[in-house]
Amino acid sequence: MADAAGTPMNLDSSETREMTRVPFTDLAAMTGEVWPEIEQDYLSCLLDGAYIGGPAVTAFERGWAAYCGADHGVGLGNGTDALLLSLTALGVGPGDEVVVPANTFIATAAAVVRAGATPRFADVSDDTLLMTADTLAAAITPCTRAVIIVHLYGQLPDMAGLAAIAQQTGIAVIEDAAQAHGAEWGGRRAGSFGAVACFSFYPAKNLGAFGDAGAVTTSRPELADEIRSLANHGRSHGHSHYHHDRIGTNSRLDALQAILLSGKLAHLEEWTERRIALASRYREHLGGGEFTGTGLKLTATAPLARHVYHLFVVRVPRRDSVRTALTRRGIQTGVHYPVPCHRQPPLRRLAEHPLPVAERAAGEVLSLPLFPHMTDRQVDYVCESLAEALRAAAVGSEAASAQ
């Protein structure tokens, strides 16, 4: 590739690399580690020409279900379809309500709307930023058919408390585990709690594909069959290719993605342990004296949870200036999420009661870099820089208010 001046275009110039001392994530490092192990299978599949479904997809589906502690896995096109098809398979549709947390990625609530049902927003815990048994109970009405419990940032909320409310009220539990591959609660893995659990393998997730991919896990065979059929134009197992039992869609997992995902699955525990170790290092530094009085707040780990740190989320005052200061020091950060779902234009009319915790958190949350190939030294540098950025932001705001 060449630009207009005829010089070769360098997408990652050494200048940019130098300026970005801590990227938000590093997907290429994971690919580099796994590629030698999958290269042969990947090339064989390319040359073989069977690109959708087939033995590589079945092998990944089985491996993924076993990893999650569920009986069945169904590979899908993405995590959003996993949510939509799960709702449809459970019979959720027009006239039904589904409780979702106010602090989540929009896909959780959007899937409910796409299924023809109405999302009802539950506020979240000020400590974990996850839904609680109390906020779930408060959002349930006689029309509620299901709850989507979101294991946001990489940890599960109090699953016993939430399941008890769901059981009392007779509503189905769906897990949105898109950020929680390998996370556990009380020794049980994400993907084994709900009637059905939804996963995304979007490249930046803890287990990520070379593009879009997703899956559901369930221990109910009829749900697995229904979702598999819905994702394949309503075809059913054992029927002809030209026989359609229901109106479905096209949301199948590609064989090349399945080969990569199986290859990466073999590394997932090791990468997760590294994420956890980096997070402990962050916690140690950020709990230190130089942060007292800065307004920094850590996100708590729920009791009994194995947090897999898809994201390391803190809350800071004057977030924009803190972010700018970190960017200047070559540190990429993220915000998950700056606008709560119920404040997005298409969903605004559905927010009936105040959701104070989610709303306040949206203005304060800041995701610090965390990825398996990050170094200890990079964590130290982010922490030093954050302490400086918080002090500078506080001085800046005092100066502004003195004027």
Residues 106, 274, 21, CA angle at the centre, nearest 5°? Answer: 75
Q: Using the minimum distance from each CB to ligand PLP, give the nearer residue, 216 or 259.
A: 216
User: What residues from 201 to 230 belong to the interface with ligand PLP (CB under 6 A)?
Assistant: 202, 212, 214
- Nearest approach, Cβ of 339 to ligand PLP (angstroms)? 15
State which residue, 191 or 214, has the beta carbon closest to ligand PLP: 214
Residue number with CB closer to ligand PLP (184 or 212): 212
Contact letters (x/-) for ligand PLP, 177-196, by CB under 6 A? -xx-----------------
The yes or no reply on residue 200 touching ligand PLP (CB under 6 A) is: yes
State the minimum distance, in angstroms, from the CB of residue 182 to ligand PLP.
15
- Which of 75, 79, 157, 194 is the binder for ligand PLP (CB under 6 A)? 79
CA-angle at 358, arms to 357 and 364, nearest 5°: 90
Number of Cβ atoms within 10 Å of the Cβ of 397: 13
150 binds ligand PLP, rule: CB under 6 A: yes
Report the 10 Å Cβ neighbour count for 273: 13
Q: Please report how close the Cβ of residue 321 comes to ligand PLP at its closest, in angstroms.
A: 27
Determine which residue in the list 61, 73, 80, 125 makes contact with ligand PLP, applying CB under 6 A.
80
Distance CA 370, CA 309 (A): 8
**To the nearest whole angstrom, how small is the minimum distance from the Cβ of residue 200 to ligand PLP?**
3
Of 84 and 379, nearer to ligand PLP (C-beta) is 84
DSSP string over 166-209: HHHHT-EEEEE-TT-TT-EETTEETTSSSSEEEEE--TTSSS--
| Distance in Å, CB of 274 to ligand PLP, minimum | 20
C-beta closer to ligand PLP: residue 156 or 178? 178
Could you tell me which stretch among 20-28, 54-62, 172-180, 301-309 binds ligand PLP (CB under 6 A)?
172-180
Q: In what order do the strands lie in the sheet with 196-200?
A: 72-76, 214-218, 196-200, 172-176, 144-150, 97-101, 118-122
Amino acid at 267: H
Q: Is 76 helix (H, G, I), strand (E, B) or coil?
A: strand
- Cα separation, 333 vs 382, in Å, equals 10
Beta carbons of 82 and 60 less than 8 angstroms apart? no
Residue pair 199/217 in contact by the 8 Å Cβ criterion: yes
Q: Does 367 bind ligand PLP (CB under 6 A)?
A: no
Could you give the string, one character per residue 87-126, with x where binding to ligand PLP holds by CB under 6 A and - elsewhere? -----------------xx-xx------------------
Instruction: State both tokens at 148.
Output: 């989507």
Return the ∠ at Cα 370 (arms to 360 and 270), rounded to 5°: 130
Which residues here bind ligand PLP, judged by CB under 6 A? 78-80, 104-105, 107-108, 150, 176, 178-179, 200, 202, 212, 214
